[in-house]
Amino acid sequence: MMQQPGRLIGLGVGPGDPELITVKALRLLRESPVVAYFVAKGKKGNAFGIIEAHLQDAQTLLPLVYPVTTEALPAPLSYEQVISDFYDAAGEELAAHLDAGRDVAVICEGDPFFYGSYMYLHDRLAERYEAEVVPGVCSMLGGASVLGAPLVYRNQSLSVLSGVLPHEDLKRRLADADAAVIMKLGRNFPKVRQVLEELGLAERALYVERATMANQKIVPLDQVEPMSSPYFSLIIVPGERWQG
C-alpha cells in the first residue's frame, strides 16, 4: 500500500515573547514528529528559542542552517545561487520526511508569510504535499505594542519597507508614506537613519531591537550606535495622531 504523505506545516510562533504563540500553533507543534527551523550559522535560532520549552524527546529536530547571511562570497559564487541551492536542498530534506508519512512543522519567528524563509519551502513543496500555514503575530505588530505606538488612524495607509533598499528608493517611498515600518536594519541602520533625518522624520521615528524578546531594547533613534543595530530590529514611523 502507498504510504500517505505527511503534511507540511508553516507555523508562526510570534515575535519573541513565548506567550505570543497561538493556541493552534502550540497544538500543531506538539503533534508534529519533525520540527524544522531556519537558523544563522553559530546561532541558536530566534524561532527555536521561542518554542524549545515545548519540545519532547521523541520529536526529530531539523535545523536548516543558512550557508550565508552577511559574509562576502568568493567569486564565482553569488548570494542568490548559494541561497537558492540551499532552499532546494532544504526542500528535499523535508520531502524525505513527508514521503515517509511524517508531518513536518517549520517554525517561523513572527508570521511565516511575512518575509519568512518558510515561503521559499512553501513555493517548492506546497504543490506536491498538503500544506497548512498558521499565522503568527508579526514583528511590526509586536514592535508597535512594546513601543506604545498606534500605527495608522482613520484612512491613513501603512508602508512596510525593507532597509535593504537603496538610499534614494527608501527616501522616495518614505516621503510618500502616511506611516511606515522599516524592517531589516542591521548593517542598513546608518543609511535608514540618514534618510529619516533628510526627510525630517527622525523625531517621529521609534526604534526597537528584538521586540518582545527577553533581551528587547528600546533606544531613542539618535542614540543608537550606528554599527551596533542587530538584524532583528525595526523602526516605526507612526501615523500622525488623529484628534478624534
Ligand X SMILES: C[S@@+](CC[C@H](N)C(=O)[O-])C[C@H]1O[C@@H](n2cnc3c(N)ncnc32)[C@H](O)[C@@H]1O
Residues 170-209 that bind ligand PQ2 (CB under 6 A): 184, 186-188
- For residue 206, how many other CB atoms are within 10 A of its CB? 19
The interface partner of residue 187, options being ligand PQ2, ligand X, none and the CB cut-off 5 to 8 Å by kind, is ligand PQ2
Scanning 61-69, 149-157, 172-180, 203-211 for contacts with ligand X by CB under 6 A, the matching segment is: 203-211
- Letter for the amino acid at 54? H
Closest distance between ligand X and the C-beta of residue 56, in Å?
25
Nearest to 44 by CA among 94, 109, 104, 97: 109
The three cell numbers of residue 173 are 517611498
Interface residue with ligand PQ2 among 16, 38, 196, 236 (CB under 6 A) is 38
CA distances from 107 to 72, 125, 139, 146 (A): 28, 16, 15, 23
Interface residue with ligand X among 48, 104, 109, 195 (CB under 6 A) is 109
Residue with smaller CB distance to ligand PQ2, 44 or 242: 44
Interface residue with ligand PQ2 among 115, 130, 178, 197 (CB under 6 A) is 115
CA pair distance 114, 111, nearest whole angstrom:
5
Q: Is residue 213 a contact point for ligand X (CB under 6 A)? A: yes
Phi, psi of 101 (to 5 degrees): 90, 10
CA pair distance 184, 187, nearest whole angstrom:
9
Cα 66 to chain centroid, rounded:
14
Vertex 190: Cα angle to 186 and 195 (nearest 5)? 120
Scanning 28-36, 54-62, 91-99, 225-233 for contacts with ligand PQ2 by CB under 6 A, the matching segment is: 225-233
For the beta sheet containing 34-39, the strands, ordered from the edge strand earlier in sequence to the opposite edge, are 60-65, 34-39, 104-108, 8-12, 131-134
Residue with smaller CB distance to ligand PQ2, 44 or 150: 44
Interface residue with ligand X among 143, 174, 180, 236 (CB under 6 A) is 143
The interface partner of residue 102, options being ligand PQ2, ligand X, none and the CB cut-off 5 to 8 Å by kind, is none
The interface partner of residue 167, options being ligand X, ligand PQ2, none and the CB cut-off 5 to 8 Å by kind, is none
Tell how strand 8-12 and strand 104-108 pair up. Answer: parallel
Radius of gyration of the chain (CA): 19
Interface residue with ligand PQ2 among 26, 62, 83, 201 (CB under 6 A) is 83
The interface partner of residue 210, options being ligand X, ligand PQ2, none and the CB cut-off 5 to 8 Å by kind, is ligand X
Cα 236 to chain centroid, rounded:
16
The three cell numbers of residue 162 are 525593507
Please give the residue ranges that form the binding site for ligand PQ2 (CB under 6 A). 38-40, 43, 45-47, 69-70, 83, 108-109, 115-117, 164, 184, 186-188, 230-232
Q: Give the binding site for ligand X (CB under 6 A).
A: 15-16, 108-111, 114-116, 138-139, 142-143, 183-185, 208, 210-213, 231-234
